[in-house]
Amino acid sequence: MTTPSMSFRCIKAIALSVNDFERAIRFYTDTLSLPPAFEDGKQVGNKLGDAVLLFKADWYAQPSEALNPRVTVETDDAIETEGFLRSRGVVISDPVETYGESRIGSFLDSEGNKLWFCSGPGPQ
């Protein structure tokens, strides 16, 4: 029997709640001069280095001065990562699902914070 493994590589995406998607695109593109990020040919946010600021309109969290972004960590293989986390007794809050060519899941840290993980192309 093989022991599951995982490899956290980098922050892939930080999801930000927005009230007006187009206004957010203009702000990050025009005001901050960040390049656009695309998924399946559609702009989903803007790049910040190797990470993507992923704009989420009509999301569970509302824009706020309080910290509320969603952080997504890139892994080599989301399925293996989920198995590794489960083998360590970590709570999987969202089992891995496939979205386009990406696999995405989430887990709870020791404090109950939800962290997401993914593998596959994701936002470009």
Task: Look at residue 62 and tell me if it is in a domain.
Answer: yes
For the cut 90, the answer to whether the pLDDT of residue 37 exceeds it is yes
Strand, helix or coil for residue 114: strand
Q: Provide the residue range defining the domain that includes 43.
A: 8-119
Strand, helix or coil for residue 117: strand
Task: Look at residue 78 and tell me if it is in a domain.
Answer: yes
Task: Look at residue 1 and tell me if it is in a domain.
Answer: no
CATH of the domain at 73: 3.10.180.10
Task: Look at residue 2 and tell me if it is in a domain.
Answer: no
Task: Look at residue 15 and tell me if it is in a domain.
Answer: yes
**DSSP symbols for 1-27:** -PPP---EEEEEEEEEEES-HHHHHHI
For the cut 70, the answer to whether the pLDDT of residue 5 exceeds it is no
Q: Do residues 102 and 64 touch, judged by C-beta distance below 8 A?
A: no
> What does the pLDDT look like over 39-65, one tens digit per residue?
989 999 999 999 999 999 888 888 877
Task: Look at residue 124 and tell me if it is in a domain.
Answer: no
Split into its structural domains, the chain has a count of: 1
pTM tops 0.85? no
Confidence at residue 92, expressed as pLDDT on a 0 to 100 scale:
95
Task: Look at residue 3 and tell me if it is in a domain.
Answer: no
- The fraction of the chain above a pLDDT of 90, given in percent, is 56
Instruction: State the average pLDDT for the chain.
Output: 88
